[in-house]
């Protein structure tokens, strides 16, 4: 049985480990870190670190997080850590397994300082504070567990963070308000070109260290596997980009609109001559109270001119805002989603003699061989428009909602008739995304394009005289 460390001996070790986290991990776990792992450890060596790693498969990112967790519990004052992942199985089968494996590599004197369970890793040091790492699945249902955990040295460590929904991400970021600011460390295979993890890389967010781990630069990845992936999928395939290069896909799995297309539209400020000859169309998505917003949007040809968000308005108040909006833009036509609560706004706008047209997005598509319903078809028209030289307003921190995030977060599936159907708003919310109210209002402005060239009037069919006596 190994001798226990005295308090003085352990304090001296903590002082050495605190000076160089890379050297500490290699010493404690008897391991040689890769250059990629070293870059992650050094980037996180700051009480207020914000680190995001977009990684290829098999680079040892989760193993590195496991070692960092055990180290932080020993050396950081008043340390509490939240370990999270969008999948319970990922959290238990991968993250907890890596922590257990690295724990067993530690000297026995250090193993005696920890108690491991599947829900938490507790450090039994001499500190008067509770040093603990809790494993909590990153889902909206665990909102309370994700919120609690303030301490002087608070750390949020998220694995497979690309799948963490926007609402959960915002909750996690909000927990870092106490102490010295807290570490926020996110690593993931970049499986989707939408969501907050993607935004960290696609937008110029201050304070974030962004790292890319390629399989080519990792000694942990078998070169034969890289060659096989290249042969099977080709270098231009999104799976190759994600799994081998550690790059975001052009179109995420089940993602309806590509992030590249939306980014190009944001970076495309058009001169008025490019759109001034088009009719001005409005889209109105009506919400009543709750977290959803009523949206008024103006589009002129390839240009989104403006959108406005309102919360807590009743149908008459929304109609009043539509009238004010019409006074500014003199719309050729205003499309209103008249399902449910929107019907009242539509009727009031008709009374006010506004150029409104109702759209019932749950109706059947005019292209039933492609789309399951009208809403999916309108989004399809909008997607085509985005890829054809459209211009979107740039993201503003002052805006409560983000159009680009709503466009790229929409997911779809195929029905049993092989029709495209978008996820409903309630299902997107379950995934942690905000309601796509702005994007829905933009899609409404394409209602005329759906019906163009198609008669909306029924004509009498000619009656032919039967040629047979028995008819």
DSSP state of 193: S
Domain segments of the chain: what residues? 7-250, 261-451
Give the model's pLDDT for residue 237: 83
Q: Is the pLDDT of residue 457 over 50?
A: no
DSSP secondary structure string for all residues of 242-270: IIII----SS-TTBSS-HHHHHHHHT---
Q: Is the pLDDT of residue 276 over 60?
A: yes
| 318 confidence band (pLDDT: 50, 70, 90) | very high
* pLDDT, average across residues 376-391: 94
pLDDT by residue (tens digit) across 74-103?
A: 999 989 999 999 888 788 889 999 999 999
Which is more confidently placed, 363 or 259? 363
Of all residues in the chain, the percent with pLDDT exceeding 70 is 90
DSSP state of 430: H
CA 428 to chain centre: 10
Give the model's pLDDT for residue 399: 47
Across-strand partners of 213?
55
Q: Nearest Cα to 269, choosing from 233, 304, 234?
A: 304
Sign of CA dihedral 30, 35, 41, 46: positive
pLDDT by residue (tens digit) across 416-453?
A: 777 889 988 887 776 667 789 999 999 999 998 776 53
Q: Is the pLDDT of residue 119 over 50?
A: yes
7-250, CATH topology level:
Rossmann fold (3.40.50)
Q: Which residues contact 234 (CB under 8 A, 6 or more apart)?
A: 240
Give the model's pLDDT for residue 184: 95
Q: How many whole angstroms separate alpha carbon 337 and alpha carbon 215?
A: 48
* pLDDT, average across residues 27-39: 96
pTM > 0.75: yes or no? no
Give the model's pLDDT for residue 272: 93
CA atoms within 13 A on the CB side of 326: 20
C-beta separation of 446 from 378 below 8 A: yes
Q: How many CB atoms lie within 10 A of CB 325?
A: 20
Give the model's pLDDT for residue 8: 86
pLDDT by residue (tens digit) across 329-359?
A: 999 999 999 888 899 999 999 999 999 999 9
Q: Nearest Cα to 333, choosing from 349, 317, 315, 351?
A: 349
Of all residues in the chain, the percent with pLDDT exceeding 90 is 55
For the chain, the distance separating the N- and C-terminal CA atoms, rounded to the nearest angstrom, is 103
Least confident interval from 159-163, 219-223, 288-292 = 288-292
| 279 confidence band (pLDDT: 50, 70, 90) | very high
Rounding to the nearest 10 degrees, give the CA dihedral for residues 393, 397, 403, 409. Answer: 140
Give the model's pLDDT for residue 290: 56
Q: How many whole angstroms separate alpha carbon 206 and alpha carbon 199?
A: 12
CATH number of 261-451: 3.30.420.240
Q: How many whole angstroms separate alpha carbon 464 and alpha carbon 389?
A: 50
* Same fold flag, 7-250 and 261-451: no
Q: Is the pLDDT of residue 254 over 80?
A: no
Across-strand partners of 285?
295
What's the mean per-residue pLDDT of the chain? 86
């Amino acid at each position: 049985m190994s001798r226990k460390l005295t308090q003085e001996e352990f304090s001296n070790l903590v002082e050495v480990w605190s000076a160089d986290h890379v050297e500490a991990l290699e010493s404690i776990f008897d391991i040689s870190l890769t250059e990629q792992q070293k870059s992650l450890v050094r980037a996180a060596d700051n009480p207020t670190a914000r680190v995001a790693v977009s990684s290829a498969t098999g680079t040892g990112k989760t193993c590195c997080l496991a070692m960092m967790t055990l180290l932080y519990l020993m050396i950081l004052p008043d340390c509490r850590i939240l370990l999270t992942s969008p999948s319970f199985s990922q959290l238990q089968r991968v993250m907890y397994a890596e922590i257990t494996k690295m724990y067993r590599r530690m000297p026995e004197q250090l193993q005696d300082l920890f108690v491991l369970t599947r829900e938490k890793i507790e450090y039994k040091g001499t500190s008067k504070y509770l040093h603990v790492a809790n494993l909590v699945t990153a889902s909206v249902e665990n909102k309370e567990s994700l919120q609690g955990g303030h301490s002087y040295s608070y750390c949020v460590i998220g694995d497979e963070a690309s799948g963490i929904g926007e609402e959960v991400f915002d909750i996690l970021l909000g927990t870092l308000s106490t102490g010295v600011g807290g570490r926020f460390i996110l690593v993931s295979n970049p499986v989707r070109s939408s969501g907050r993890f993607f935004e960290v890389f696609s937008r110029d967010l201050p304070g974030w260290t962004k790292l890319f781990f390629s399989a080519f630069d990792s000694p942990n990845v078998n070169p034969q596997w890289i060659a096989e992936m290249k042969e099977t999928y080709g270098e231009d395939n999104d799976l190759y980009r994600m799994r081998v290069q550690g790059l975001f896909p052009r179109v995420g799995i089940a993602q309806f609109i590509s992030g590249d297309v939306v980014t190009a539209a944001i970076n495309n400020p058009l001169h008025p001559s490019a759109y001034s000859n088009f009719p001005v169309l409005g889209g109105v998505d009506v919400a009543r109270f709750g977290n959803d917003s009523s949206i008024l949007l103006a589009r002129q040809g390839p240009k989104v001119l403006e959108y406005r968000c309102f919360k807590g308005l009743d149908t008459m108040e929304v109609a009043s805002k539509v009238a004010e909006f019409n006074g500014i833009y003199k719309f050729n036509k205003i499309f209103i989603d008249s399902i449910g609560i929107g019907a009242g706004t539509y009727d009031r706008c008709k009374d006010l003699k506004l150029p409104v047209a109702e759209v019932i997005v749950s109706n059947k598509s005019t292209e039933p061989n492609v789309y399951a319903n009208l809403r999916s078809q309108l989004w399809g028209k909008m997607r085509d428009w985005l890829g054809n030289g459209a211009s979107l307003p740039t993201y503003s921190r002052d805006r409560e909602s983000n159009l680009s995030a709503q466009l790229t977060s929409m997911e779809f599936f195929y029905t049993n008739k092989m029709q495209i159907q978008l996820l409903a708003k309630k299902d997107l919310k379950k995934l942690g995304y905000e309601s796509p109210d702005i994007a829905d209002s933009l899609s409404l402005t394409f209602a005329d394009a759906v019906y163009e060239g198609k008669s909306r009037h029924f004509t009498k069919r000619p009656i032919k005289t039967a040629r047979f006596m028995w008819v």
